[in-house]
Structure formats: structure tokens, C-alpha cells
């Protein structure tokens, strides 16, 4: 439907044709618009990639700390659960110097202790498990021992450690 108002075209058909003598606007994007769009996309991509790398490092660090805790806790539980009498002092409860001694978890040649091995076996993280057993002074002169296990390892160039301590007395 077209309406005429004098010599001007009005109504629904005005948008279908450009006015006489008017320049028609070109459709499309300019080089500057494309460059700005690509720069913004690149900035978002770099931010997302950086965030994913940080999240991956944090996940790796947490996984290794969990594995280190399991190794130390396993040895603490062994020290608490092993029979300990006057006639039977297990090696895990033997008194050590105050600086401690390396502990191979009772498995000869297991020093350093394996904390993590990748699925394909290409990456292996190991650490040194230190055992410190000292006599605890008490008013009853009972044989009470403080047992500490400390696992130290290196991740991303940082020295990390996990340590647990317990007290153990002889069985009755």
C-alpha cells in the first residue's frame, strides 16, 4: 500500500526504496570493527585459558596434598595399631634422634616414597618420609612416645610438606 503526499512517497513502502538522491548505506563490517571484535575475543580467550591453567595447577596441588596426607596417615595408623610391649618394640616406634630418620614404610628400597604416579607412568612425584620418635616425660615414668611423620616433596619448584603427630604408650 502506497500513499502519496504531494510528490513524496509515504506509508509502508518508504523503507523499501531509498529516497531519490540519498546515498544507500553499505551493509557489512569495516576493518576496524573486525579488528576490535578479534581483539575482544582474544582477550576473553586469554583470560579463560589463564583461569583454566590456574585451576589445573590448584587441582594438581590439592591431589598431591591429599596423597601425601594418605601416606602420612597410613604410617600414623600403623604406629598406633602395631603391638607395643616391653618385649616387643616395633621398628616404627624405635626412638630416633630429635632430627628424625628417613622412613621407607618398612619396605626396603622404598626411599623416596612415591606420592603420585600418572596414569601413563610418565610423571612420578616422590618425597622423603621422615620419622621422629621421642620419649615423652611424664610423672608416672611410663614409656610414652611421641611419633611424628613428615613427608616433604617439591611441586612447581616449591618445597611442601605434610606432618602428623600422635602419642603412643605400651600395650597392657
Q: Summarize pLDDT for 94-141 with one digit per residue, the tens.
A: 999 999 999 987 677 777 898 998 889 888 899 999 999 999 999 998
At residue 84 the predicted structure's pLDDT band, cuts being 50, 70 and 90, is very high
At residue 161 the predicted structure's pLDDT band, cuts being 50, 70 and 90, is very high
106/82 Cα distance (integer angstroms): 13
Q: Is residue 164 part of a domain?
A: yes
Q: Domain count of the chain?
A: 1
Q: Is residue 11 part of a domain?
A: no
Domain region containing 64: 31-169
pLDDT for the residue numbered 126: 92
CA atoms within a 13 Å half-sphere pointing along the CA-CB vector of 120: 1
Over residues 4-32, the pLDDT tens digits come to 556 555 555 555 555 565 555 667 788 99
pLDDT for the residue numbered 8: 59
Q: Is residue 48 part of a domain?
A: yes
pLDDT for the residue numbered 14: 52
Over residues 34-69, the pLDDT tens digits come to 999 999 999 999 999 999 999 988 998 899 999 999
Q: Is residue 3 part of a domain?
A: no
Average pLDDT, the chain: 86
44/156 Cα distance (integer angstroms): 26
Q: Is residue 119 part of a domain?
A: yes
68/59 Cα distance (integer angstroms): 14
Q: Is the dihedral of CA 36, 41, 47, 50 positive or negative?
A: negative
pLDDT for the residue numbered 18: 57
Amino acid at each position: 500500500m502506497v500513499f502519496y503526499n504531494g510528490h513524496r512517497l509515504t506509508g509502508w513502502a518508504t523503507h523499501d526504496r531509498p529516497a531519490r538522491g540519498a546515498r544507500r548505506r553499505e551493509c557489512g563490517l569495516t576493518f576496524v570493527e573486525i579488528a576490535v571484535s578479534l581483539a575482544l575475543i582474544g582477550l576473553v580467550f586469554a583470560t579463560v585459558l589463564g583461569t583454566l591453567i590456574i585451576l589445573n595447577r590448584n587441582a594438581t596441588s590439592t591431589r598431591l596434598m591429599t596423597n601425601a596426607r594418605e601416606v602420612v596417615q597410613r604410617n600414623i595408623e600403623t604406629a598406633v595399631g602395631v603391638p607395643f610391649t616391653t618385649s616387643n618394640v616395633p621398628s616404627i616406634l624405635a626412638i630416633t634422634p630429635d632430627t628424625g630418620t628417613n622412613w621407607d614404610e618398612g619396605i626396603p628400597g622404598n626411599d623416596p616414597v612415591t606420592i603420585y604416579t600418572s596414569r601413563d607412568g610418565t610423571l612420578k612425584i616422590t618425597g622423603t618420609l621422615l620419622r621422629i620418635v621421642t620419649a615423652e616425660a611424664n610423672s608416672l615414668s611410663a614409656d610414652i612416645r611421641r611419633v611424628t611423620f613428615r613427608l616433604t616433596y617439591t611441586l612447581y619448584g616449591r618445597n611442601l610438606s605434610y606432618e602428623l603427630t600422635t602419642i603412643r604408650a605400651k600395650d597392657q
